[in-house]
Amino acid sequence: MPNPRCFMDFSIEGQLVGRVIFELFADVVPRTAENFRALCTGSAGVNTAGVPLYYKGSLLHRIIAGFMVQGGDFTLRNGKGGESIYGGTFEDEDLKREIDAEGLLVMANRGKNTNGSQFFVSLRPCPHLAGKHVVFGRVVKGYDIIEGLSKLPTNEKDFPVQLVTISNCGELELRKTEEIEKKAEEQRLAMIEEQKKRREEEERKREEERTKKRNEWREKESGGTVKYKGRGNMKAPGVGGYNSGGMRGW
Residue 202 phi/psi, 5-degree rounding, is: -65, -40
CA distances from 34 to 138, 149, 197, 206 (A): 14, 26, 43, 57
Tell me the average pLDDT of the chain: 88
Of residues 76 and 246, more confidently modeled: 76
Of residues 220 and 123, more confidently modeled: 123
Of residues 217 and 168, more confidently modeled: 168
The pLDDT, as a whole number, for residue 178 is 64
Q: Which residues are catalytic?
A: 62, 67, 70, 109, 120, 129, 133
Q: For residue 136, give the amino acid letter.
A: F
Q: What is the pTM of this model?
A: 0.70
Buried b (16+ CB within 10 A) or exposed e, 34-43: bbbbbbbbbe
Query: Is the predicted pLDDT of residue 231 greater than 60, yes or no?
Result: no
Of 139-148, 187-196, 220-229, the one with minimum mean pLDDT is: 220-229
SS3 helix, strand, coil % of the chain, rounded to 5? Answer: 30, 30, 45
- At 1-40, the pLDDT tens digits run 799 999 999 999 999 999 999 999 999 999 999 999 999 9
